Structure 1
């Protein structure tokens, strides 16, 4: 690192695992997962992100590509990785030879030193309203899985894809959770694939959008995991004191309604912005601190949802860094737990790392370190993940609005 003129200052305190204290003042190491996006031109190099991730005790990272610099930097750290294939690669992955080539270049060389555990093929594909893209999803996943099998890696790496909550037709009460009827033809064979291969069903869930859509009606305490009367599902009689758990269980019930109750659900993205435009209600450091801090406390407490109380929460917080080149409203660039210099965006139990100087490149998704003079492996990187406020998620935000109105109606009936 010194040869590249990079000076990293980190105190012994910052090397301690990220801990949070519950009401009994018992400290627990947080088994947190974090999304590591790189749509920025001012991020530290992957080599220098390693001590930052270690300092907060994060054990899992999700990439939106298969950046070789990141995978090399985290070799022998024990951190688990989800690597991703962008939507633009789905048509190519319909060719088994292309899928095999991608796995050979972007996954196999890094195992077992770098702990790649999952490949996410596409992101929120089914809510793009693009029939050709949807038609390519399952064949692409099957071919990537077949490639893993041919290399005898299928017991080490699973294949999955992430969905927007807009795939749900109903979600309130959670026990009425159902998938959209127009997606049944795509979802049933996809769920059979998950069941056969043992891979998780990934969901991107953002209670923030429910609050942003109607801040006068949605109780802030209910979306920030703060004390509140909550709601009771009139069918299951289960009590919910936060929106995220209600959303997760709505997915559980939707899976059960199709006969797939044994498919594991994981939350591949959730978070809260620390800054936004004037019309982005609730996007403040204080609310982001409460959302992510309280969420991590729940994860540390090994608390499942009301429907699955004994099932560990597998949740990836969005995101590791603020990303200054993301398009869209101000909130898009302010979901990070950390600023690019390694300092916390807000304090929730860790101090961060001070980067005295940072060598970056100007290319999106190729930030930090010395310029990458060698060409990246084919398909190793993407132009970036979906904007959180993309059309797919805007439709999801509208869906959340209907969801939240139902919640508030019952909230006041139950709590007078």
Structure 2
């Protein structure tokens, strides 16, 4: 990786000043929210109705869940919270091989709750390995669910899509040279063609933390944490001052390189851990979140005209996840105390 990723570190006093000045504003602009993923792999988490209440109290107007948990869906009724509803990977085969299963799934998990639950996207599979056992089932499952959504006349209100990891990229540097791995093209290209035809976005999990922690000698911490004072990576007409935009635009470039047409990208997960590994600390996590929320008001250098829809991972620390690093991504502790300052007054930024 190029030394362009290296930049001067902010002084400790500058970082401390940033932490004192800024709080995390979960309502970033009128009509534009940053959502939060709600994971449940913990044995000490509050019940779903309290979680939904916590979202509302803190002006979090978008939620992603990873499976159609009925307690959560019931608690979301009339909450005015937009939802990404997940289909677990283990369910893909049944939905792909049987249209009747897809009809039943849509009836039980979508139609029973919509529109009192504002389901915006159905995410069919999460980070499926393009050459793994579930890959063959993703597009057929999407198509079967989409067919039933369309039969009910909801295709313009509920978009059916899937979630990728940036591990599907073969090249990501410089961002303009982003491309998909050769062994993933038979998987991703037909999905992208479907997304174009359905006018649906691709969901992508974008984690600058893992890029930094795997290569801290070449990627500076300020670049990863949104605190670099200057452009770090110059890429033709585009300049990158933070790693998040560079990774996101490598996904945009990879999509463009396929020639299938325009596909919007929703960042379905991003975050920074507060403990458990290199660079994981409460101070670094807060700095990342502050930078992320400030940046969410704009688009990326490659796609500047539209603010990026972003979902933060995650609502709570989850003590049943492994390894240790995976336990420390929450913005709230399981007792509902805030890990970081979160501001919200009457649904508007303060």
Report the TM-score when normalising by structure 2. Answer: 0.87
Q: Does the 8 Å contact 2:189/2:260 carry over to 1?
A: no
Q: What is the aligned counterpart of 2:339 among 345, 360, 374?
A: 345
Offset at 1:50? Answer: 2.2
What is the distance in 2 between the residues matched to 1:241 and 1:19?
Answer: 20
Offset at 1:237? Answer: 2.4
Tell me the equivalent position of 1:140: 141
Tell me the equivalent position of 1:210: 211
Offset at 1:58? Answer: 1.1
Tell me the equivalent position of 1:250: 250
Gaps of 5+ in 2: 1-22, 346-350
Q: Does the 8 Å contact 1:20/1:28 carry over to 2?
A: no
What is the distance in 2 between the residues matched to 1:310 and 1:44?
Answer: 39
Tell me the equivalent position of 1:126: 129
CA shift digits 1:18-58 (9 cap, x unpaired): 9739xxxxx85661111000011111111111221112211
Is the aligned partner of 1:37 residue 2:30?
no
Report the TM-score when normalising by structure 1. Answer: 0.74
Tell me the equivalent position of 2:49: 47
Is the aligned partner of 1:221 residue 2:226?
no
What is the distance in 1 between the residues matched to 2:115 and 2:135?
Answer: 32
Tell me the equivalent position of 1:269: 269
CA shift digits 1:378-414 (9 cap, x unpaired): xxxxxxxxxxxxxxxxxxxxxxxxxxxxxxxxxxxxx
What is the distance in 2 between the residues matched to 1:242 and 1:298?
Answer: 10
Tell me the equivalent position of 2:175: 174
Tell me the equivalent position of 1:20: 25
What is the distance in 1 between the residues matched to 2:25 and 2:180?
Answer: 36
Offset at 1:342? Answer: 0.7
Q: What is the aligned counterpart of 2:288 among 291, 301, 304?
A: 291
Number of residue pairs matched by the alignment: 320
Q: Does the 8 Å contact 1:270/1:317 carry over to 2?
A: yes
**What's the C-alpha RMSD, in Å, of the aligned pairs?**
1.9
CA shift digits 1:178-237 (9 cap, x unpaired): 111111112221111100111111111111112211323321000000033333434x32
Tell me the equivalent position of 2:95: 93
Tell me the equivalent position of 2:16: none
Offset at 1:125? Answer: 1.0
What is the distance in 2 between the residues matched to 1:260 and 1:223?
Answer: 31
What is the distance in 1 between the residues matched to 2:163 and 2:290?
Answer: 24
Q: Which secondary structure state, in structure 2, belongs to the residue aligned with residue 275 of structure 1?
A: coil
What is the distance in 1 between the residues matched to 2:329 and 2:99?
Answer: 37
What is the distance in 2 between the residues matched to 1:343 and 1:260?
Answer: 46
Q: Which secondary structure state, in structure 2, belongs to the residue aligned with residue 269 of structure 1?
A: strand
What is the distance in 2 between the residues matched to 1:334 and 1:350?
Answer: 23
4+ residue segments displaced more than 6 Å: none
Q: Which secondary structure state, in structure 1, belongs to the residue aligned with residue 288 of structure 2?
A: helix
Is the aligned partner of 1:192 residue 2:201?
no
Tell me the equivalent position of 2:238: 238
